[in-house]
């Protein structure tokens, strides 16, 4: 689970994540239209209204490629976690999202390295046991949600 989404955080569920459809926290800046989301699986990220329109379109179109966006947002949020630098949480436009969608999937070896790196970030010292929360942390690896895979397979 994204570490800013612990049960006692100031990010209660009031919305649905536009990337993975999980319960999430969101707020909008009325002056700029920028949307903030904090999701257990996708981390913390900012979008323009235009980018949100693209996400609504992607969801209506089946949304199978949204896992790439979940992966990119979670990786960025994990890199920025614990740092007090707002530039580490950029506001994504629809062009930014399209570039991520057009990028190829990472090879398996790179995904395994991401897993090791993520588990290393959770442990305080070498050899410490840590738990992998597959229901929320599958995005770290760039994996598609298991439930979506099953529904896609059943539809064929
Ligand atoms: Zn999400």
**Which two structure tokens, joined as six digits, stand for 27?**
């707020």
- Interval between CA 127 and ligand 1 midpoint (Å): 30
**pLDDT value at residue 149:** 36
Q: What is the pTM of this model?
A: 0.83
Distance CA 141, CA 61 (A): 24
**pLDDT value at residue 3:** 84
- Interval between CA 38 and ligand 1 midpoint (Å): 8
**pLDDT value at residue 129:** 86
pLDDT higher than threshold 50 for residue 153: no
- Interval between CA 78 and ligand 1 midpoint (Å): 14
User: How far lies 12's CA from each of 52, 94, 117, 126, 135, in Å?
Assistant: 21, 26, 28, 33, 19
**pLDDT value at residue 62:** 80
- Interval between CA 33 and ligand 1 midpoint (Å): 20
Lowest mean pLDDT among 3-7, 34-38, 94-98: 3-7
Domain locations along the chain: 15-102, 108-155
Distance CA 8, CA 21 (A): 22
Residue range 19-33: average pLDDT?
A: 91
- Interval between CA 155 and ligand 1 midpoint (Å): 23
User: Per-residue pLDDT tens for 55-75?
Assistant: 999 888 887 789 999 999 999
- Interval between CA 19 and ligand 1 midpoint (Å): 5
8 Å CB contact between 37 and 29? no
């Amino acid at each position: 689970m994204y570490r800013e989404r612990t049960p006692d955080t100031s990010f209660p569920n009031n919305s649905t994540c536009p990337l993975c459809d999980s319960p999430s926290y969101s707020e909008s800046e009325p002056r700029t239209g920028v949307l903030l989301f904090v999701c257990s699986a996708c981390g913390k990220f900012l979008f323009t209204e235009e980018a949100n329109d693209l996400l609504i379109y992607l969801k209506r179109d089946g949304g199978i490629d949204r896992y790439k966006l979940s992966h990119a947002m979670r990786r960025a949020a994990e890199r920025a976690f614990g740092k007090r630098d707002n530039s580490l949480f950029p506001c994504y436009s629809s062009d930014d999202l399209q570039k991520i969608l057009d990028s190829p999937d990472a090879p398996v070896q790179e995904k395994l390295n991401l897993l090791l790196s993520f588990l290393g970030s959770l442990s305080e010292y070498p050899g410490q046991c840590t738990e992998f929360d597959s229901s929320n942390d599958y995005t770290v690896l760039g994996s598609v949600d298991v439930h979506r895979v099953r529904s896609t397979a059943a539809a064929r």
